[in-house]
Structure 1
Amino acid sequence: MRTWTPPVIPELPGAGEAPKLFNTAKGRLEHPAIQDDRATLYVCGLTPYDATHIGHAFTYLTFDIMQRAWRDAGIETVYAQNITDIDDPLLERANATGVDWRGLADEQIGLYRSDMHRMGMIPPDHFVAVTEAIDEIAGGVEELIDLGYAYTVPTPESEAGDDIYFDVRGAQRQSQWRLGDVAPYERALLETLSAERGGDPEREGKRDVLDPLLWRSARVGEPSWESVVGEGRPGWHIECAVIARQALGELFTVQGGGHDLVFPHHEFTAAHVTAISGKPLAHAFCHAALVSYDGHKMSKSRGNLVFVSKLLDGTHAGHPVDPSAIRLALLANHYRTEWEWFDSDLERAERRLAAWREGLDRTTAEPVSASAVLQQLRAALANDLDTPVMLATLDAALAAGVDDPCLVAHAVQALLGVKLQPEE
């Protein structure tokens, strides 16, 4: 699937350090294993029916900054992202609005692609829609069946066959994966989260209430595909398991996404891959915090969404917003800290951006060393992507004036994706 044009990333003198990152699975900061100066990253993409809100943007900006840190450290990055362009929420929205689900998905993917380009996000090297990989995903389900990690559940409402589920208890007995490897939570919480996040604990015939769907057999009125495991469509977790493994190989550097994906999605994606390959999915699991608005977590079900496209075109704030200002509004929050969006955040970011641009032209008797500023920015970036410290560093330096404005401007654009000067 087509991505978008990559942003300009200026080259900087010297090199930064590979960042320490918080590994959710281990509950600690660590340097994910990087082999041959090459980092591989998989970030779960959106379901295209409500693109692109600020919560999405905060997540994808987190992994944009992660890649910028790696690249500044001289590490090659290979980035893969999926698009879940067939899923129950997409079908429900299409039915509710009386539109074709394919048309809705195509429209929203186009909007997402435009938003990411205008926001200066590094595009994925592998950008894969689920509908482009149905045969490969079905092949992954077949492998799990052959290995004894899957079973069928009677499905009388389908004339195409029975649904196929992943056997959580069997995988724990026979594979290296253990429930809680990614999400170290108590069983009661896992059951609650499964019910809230796409699981079906009430489904009769399952061996364990947590067992996730691998393949949904065809139903009347639903899209389906012929495959080696029958006519139907894939479950959520096996989609990412197969796409990630095919794009990046086994045991890649970081699996990323929003914090609401820790369980069940990333737990069971890891379970599927480990059951098939005998190896863990990734060295580290990194998650961006959730964003609230109007007192609640930003979500499609509540409708409390702030859309990037409406900020950019001026329909939200009453004037078109500079993409760099949106980035600054997001970067003022550390990626692991939950926060609430207020329109005043955007106003504050616009004032900050204007002050930084003015600060580049400030001349003083004792300007701040631009090289020292770059060193401080790199140190904060290496410390678990501490963007609030980076912003505070730049506030102070540009208020005082710097001895090499061009270097600072290039550093801000390369490390934060914020433009202080017109592109050359």
Structure 2
Amino acid sequence: MSLTPVSAAADTLRRQDPELAGVLLGERERQASTLQLIAAENFASPAVLAALGSTLANKYAEGYPGARHHGGCEIVDVAERLAVERAKTLFAAEHANVQAHSGSSAVLAAYAALLRPGDTVLALGLSCGGHLTHGSPANFSGRWFDFVPYGVDAETGRIDHEQVRTLARVHRPKAIVCGSIAYPRHIDYAFFREVADEAGAYLIADAAHPIGLVAGGAAPSPVPYADVVCATTHKVLRGPRGGMLLCGGELAERVDRAVFPFTQGGAQMHTIAAKAVAFGEASTPAFAVYAHQVVANARVLAAGLAAEGLAVTTGGTDTHLITADPAPLGLDGRTARGRLAAAGLVLDCCALPHADARGLRLGTAALTTQGMAEGEMGRLAKVMAGVLRDEVELKRAREEVRELAGAFPPYRD
């Protein structure tokens, strides 16, 4: 899929503030000349970018449609109602809140709606792919709540369901969180619902990564099982950077009040309008094709990396996301990431379960938006492995990356 960017605003900025315009153009060139394999990133459409750069950014709109604390919200109310209705339809949810500024803001609101400081929460441990909001001591979650981590099986790398059940029976948590930033397999939401019911706990699904695949029918939905679903609107969903919450009607008021006025102030109406655009785009047959291609690409890339000698966790992926250990090639994660970055391959490091070293985390959402398919994934696996094995390959790899980036530009002028 090739895209065309919104350029009028850039032209205005170039005339008024050439210094900052240079920064924007520099970032655009970086994105166009390198390959983005960060699992949490994607390329928003021109329509999404247009909404983000619109005059809706000028409007203060504390509150909700029909009940704002500021006048003049008649038009922006329409935008938010569109976003809410489109999200509800797209994900078959009874209620949607689209005001959360980020995925972390959405998780904070879910906790605020369901928990009180000191409550016990069961969540995937950070070393196994849990997010900072799942109990990190540096985060509000670890300071305000008593988190008990569950982990993954040492052999398979998959969530240890028996451990989850045992910990839930022993600790009787107020909530159980299922979701991850570095777990490449589908979550068994039905299992977590069963365990939560047995423990008398709320089930919170942090679906920030797979929610775009859910929208495209390429991953199971947490909505029928979780009390509250927290998600982002970027990543695979390909919308603006932001968050949202989905829940049943019985929790709607609690969730809305947890977002505003408890954790946030005025809604960002330009972002909410851009979310509405993204939800509309994600409801099309073309997006379903895209979502399934994202998964197909990830599976081919994971298999290619494994064939080249990297240790791919869980033996593969069900999603857009891959985690791998470069240690069999003689490198730690940070060194490997730096070497790949020098070749124009941009990705992340992540913690590896049951290991002190860090591995690589990468995804195929952005590459698929650019139009790449299985053939390019096989080629990339070889390029990556070549760079990791021998730095002499760096120059050749950089040229090949530039060639691919030029053949599949994220935006066409």
TM category (shorter chain) comes to: under 0.3
Structure of higher RCO (CA pairs closer than 8 Å, 6+ residues apart):
2
Larger gyration radius, structure 1 or structure 2: 1
Instruction: Provide TM-score, normalisation by structure 2.
Output: 0.28
Instruction: Provide TM-score, normalisation by structure 1.
Output: 0.27
